[in-house]
Structure 1
Amino acid sequence: MKFRPMRFDLYLGRSVFGTVLLTWAVLLGLDVVMAFSGEFKDVGKGGYTIGHAAAWVLYTVPRRAYTFFPTAAVIGSLMGLGQLAATSELTALRALGLSRKRLSASVAIALSLLTAVMVLTGETLAPWAQSRADDIRMSAKWGNDMAVARYSGVWAREGDTFLNAGAGDEQLLPGGGTKLVLRDVRLYKIGDDGKLASLTYAGTAEHGDTGWVLSKVRRDTFGERSATRETVESEPWNSKLDAAALASGISKPRNLRASDLRTSIEYRKRNGLDARDYEDIYWSRWFYPVNVLALCLAAVPFAFGSLRSGGMGKRLFLGILFALGFWLLQLFFGRMAGALKFDYRIAYALPPIVMLVVSGMLFRRKSG
């Protein structure tokens, strides 16, 4: 099938563009309002004010727009095509000799432009803005003793001791509550003369009800002309560092660029650390445009016939149903990949394949 842009391509593209952007604005607006209201509980902590909360939410808008675009694309596409079907405009285009595949190609081209913008945003503006948002929140809540390095995880200072953790996460406790686990931890203690007095390495640093505990500890202490090393399996760490502050400083994989995710994956593999959470997000970025187009194309057959007699509520319901079904399917395969330890590329390729197969079957059925 040869594709040459025609006037009706612009007409279809404009119709889909309008409804997708409107749906996108509604979803994004609701999410921003909910996020801003959720920040009220932290207002007053340290120097965190309503102004800081508003700035944090505004800086996270690019990341939120990136996240909501697939849902907005499928709902907006169905609403746009549904309006054309309800006014018999799709029927008129079919009467001119245009096939369903040709009309679907017009929709795909229109959505590809928006998808390309979102892919670019997800690798440039969104990570930068999210980093600025995190800096604003940490600086306001915890002061200037917290920082996030681009490749070295989180840094914190307590008196004459500097902490660096390569990674970390919060884990649920059996009896309720959470504990913070930092991995690949280094403690740099500076002497009164400004020189490095000791360097402590710990495989993990856990903060629970009893305070901090270091595991697999190796400590090098430096004298005027000597250096000594001691190793212990586990020891308590008398520190008043706030676990909540450290948890907020850990860069989440979903907020990193693909290049940074790749660097983190290689770093963790070199050091024998689990990198599957980063691989999950990394490959989801590569399959993002494929997922958007597959999801929308799978929904297109419903515009030919079933939406002609339906109202706006029916289109909205079908769009939400498709988005939710695809999300559950992707979540299922992603969890299976994590549990069975098979390649995430397979897990992210299967949902769009399933959706496109279903779409092809629907096309043939309606054509027959």
Structure 2
Amino acid sequence: MSLWGRYLVRNVFVGFGAAAALLIPLFTTFDLISELDNVSAGGYRWTQAVAVVLMTLPRRLIDLGPFIALLGGIVGLGQLAVSQELTALRAAGVSIVRIALAAVTAGVLLTASLAALDEWVASPLQQRGLQMRNAAITSSDEAVNAKGTLWARRGNEIARIDSVAAHNRPMGIEIFHYNPDNTLVSYIHADNASVSQDGSWTLNQVNFKQWSNGEETVRELDSLQWTSIFSSIHLKELTLPSDSFSIKQLSRYIHFLKATDQPVDQYSIALWQKFGRPILTLAMILLAVPFTFVQQRDPGMGSRLAVGAVVGLLTYVGNQIIVNLGLLFALNPLLTTLLPPLFILGAALMLVYRFDRNA
């Protein structure tokens, strides 16, 4: 890369830093306010809420990546425009397309860094924070099923877990066996279960009901061995939101859901969003180029940042609406998550080409 290219990339990264320094504290404050709503006496403490917010900070940075790219690009390139350095580059024969390519280089470095942060830092930290919060809320006397219900299916067998306690211990297990004609054959309820290293389960305090020829048989058992439907995946992962999963975890979980005949759209969308976000980030950086070179009567940075913030916010909200509509109407996850970023990227490329032709 040329000397001016490295200089431009460095200035764009300075803009990224300035945008992150502005947005991260703002959204972190909102997250903290939301967490404090869950604080209760004898359960979830405010110190734990602060710790959870700090653990989810990398995830917030990743989610704001496209927004940071747009505002950071406007700041980085805008400072060069104010100091007339971009004018000097244009006078030296450097085209707008080449300047945009240098900005995209900074974007590629940013997206690669965020992708690595997502896979190996943000996901484990967020999951640890959420598990800590769930454990604290569950320990409170006011907690009611804080972790949610888990379902799975294997052939004619359907299982439900009320919650997952500490040390991966399932609580409130129900198991239903059906005939091919959907008549109930047996029903098992267990207060809890012990999970061994090989994945087998020992159900404890079991109520076992069976139906045969119109007669019901009821047995009370201290324990019962069961080949678990859930044995192929760690139970703690099932209690976490899809946005906290890494690519590896999402792939494994989608395989598990398909194997147990459960819907996969929510997690397929979460998986493809991880590939769509880098595309959207690059598109946002390219959109910063027209903001820099557009002829305005007021060359100040404030107006550009204000318009950029509105564009970034509308893009974020619009993308979320499309994703939720895709989930609601069971649209193709690949198209739902990748088509909007690709459209914005195409529009940004056209704008850069147009400005270069008219320059």
TM-score (norm 2): 0.73
Q: Distance in 2 between matches of 1:310 and 1:331?
A: 32
Question: Does the alignment pair 1:325 with 2:305?
Answer: no
Aligned partner of 1:357 in structure 2 is 346
Task: Please provide the CA RMSD for this pair.
Answer: 3.8
Aligned partner of 2:190 in structure 1 is 188
Q: What amino acid is aligned across from residue 245 of structure 2 in structure 1?
A: L
Q: Note if contact 1:279-1:344 (Cα within 8 Å) is conserved in structure 2.
A: yes
Question: Does the alignment pair 1:66 with 2:68?
Answer: no
Aligned partner of 2:206 in structure 1 is 198
Q: Distance in 2 between matches of 1:221 and 1:280?
A: 44
Q: Deviations over 1:184-210 (max 9, x none)?
A: x9853469xx97442779xxxxxxxxx
Q: Distance in 1 between matches of 2:222 and 2:29?
A: 58
Q: Give the secondary-structure state (helix, strand or coil) at the position aligned to 2:43.
A: coil
Aligned partner of 2:228 in structure 1 is none
- Cα pair distance change 1:59/1:364, threshold 3 Å: closer
Q: Give the secondary-structure state (helix, strand or coil) at the position aligned to 1:42.
A: coil
Identity %: 27
Aligned partner of 2:123 in structure 1 is 127
**Structure 2 spans left out of the alignment, 5+ residues:** 153-160, 175-186, 194-201, 210-216, 226-237
Query: Which of 53, 62, 85 is matched with 1:57 structurally?
Result: 53
Q: Distance in 1 between matches of 2:108 and 2:296?
A: 23
Deviation (angstroms), 1:21: 0.9
Deviation (angstroms), 1:341: 3.0
Matches within 5 A, 1:19-98: 19-98=15-94
Deviation (angstroms), 1:226: 11
Aligned partner of 2:184 in structure 1 is none
Q: Give the secondary-structure state (helix, strand or coil) at the position aligned to 1:273.
A: coil
Q: Note if contact 2:283-2:345 (Cα within 8 Å) is conserved in structure 1.
A: yes
Q: What amino acid is aligned across from residue 344 of structure 2 in structure 1?
A: M
Q: Note if contact 2:67-2:284 (Cα within 8 Å) is conserved in structure 1.
A: no
Query: Which of 164, 179, 182 is matched with 1:155 structurally?
Result: 164
Q: Note if contact 1:82-1:307 (Cα within 8 Å) is conserved in structure 2.
A: no
- Cα pair distance change 1:92/1:251, threshold 3 Å: same
Q: Distance in 2 between matches of 1:15 and 1:56?
A: 33
Deviation (angstroms), 1:72: 1.0
Q: Give the secondary-structure state (helix, strand or coil) at the position aligned to 1:155.
A: strand
Query: Which of 8, 28, 48 is matched with 1:12 structurally?
Result: 8
Q: Give the secondary-structure state (helix, strand or coil) at the position aligned to 1:287.
A: helix
Aligned partner of 1:180 in structure 2 is none
- Cα pair distance change 1:200/1:283, threshold 3 Å: farther
Q: How many aligned residue pairs are there? A: 305
Deviation (angstroms), 1:32: 1.6
Aligned partner of 1:181 in structure 2 is none
Query: Which of 103, 109, 112 is matched with 1:107 structurally?
Result: 103
- Cα pair distance change 1:223/1:61, threshold 3 Å: closer
Aligned partner of 2:271 in structure 1 is 282
Q: Note if contact 1:299-1:322 (Cα within 8 Å) is conserved in structure 2.
A: no
- Cα pair distance change 1:129/1:106, threshold 3 Å: same
Q: Give the secondary-structure state (helix, strand or coil) at the position aligned to 1:124.
A: helix
Q: Give the secondary-structure state (helix, strand or coil) at the position aligned to 2:49.
A: helix
- Cα pair distance change 1:95/1:263, threshold 3 Å: same
Q: Give the secondary-structure state (helix, strand or coil) at the position aligned to 2:262.
A: coil
Aligned partner of 2:259 in structure 1 is 270
Q: Distance in 2 between matches of 1:64 and 1:51?
A: 19
Q: Give the secondary-structure state (helix, strand or coil) at the position aligned to 2:41.
A: coil
- Cα pair distance change 1:345/1:224, threshold 3 Å: closer
Q: Distance in 1 between matches of 2:6 and 2:18?
A: 18
Q: Distance in 1 between matches of 2:278 and 2:224?
A: 58
Q: Give the secondary-structure state (helix, strand or coil) at the position aligned to 2:190.
A: strand
**Structure 1 spans left out of the alignment, 5+ residues:** 166-184, 202-218, 228-248
Aligned partner of 1:208 in structure 2 is none
- Cα pair distance change 1:42/1:308, threshold 3 Å: same
Q: What amino acid is aligned across from residue 126 of structure 1 in structure 2?
A: A
Q: Give the secondary-structure state (helix, strand or coil) at the position aligned to 1:98.
A: coil
Q: Distance in 1 between matches of 2:136 and 2:253?
A: 28
Q: Note if contact 2:205-2:220 (Cα within 8 Å) is conserved in structure 1.
A: yes
Q: Note if contact 1:104-1:297 (Cα within 8 Å) is conserved in structure 2.
A: yes
Q: Deviations over 1:200-232 (max 9, x none)?
A: 79xxxxxxxxxxxxxxxxx995659999xxxxx
Deviation (angstroms), 1:277: 1.0
Q: Distance in 2 between matches of 1:332 and 1:47?
A: 35
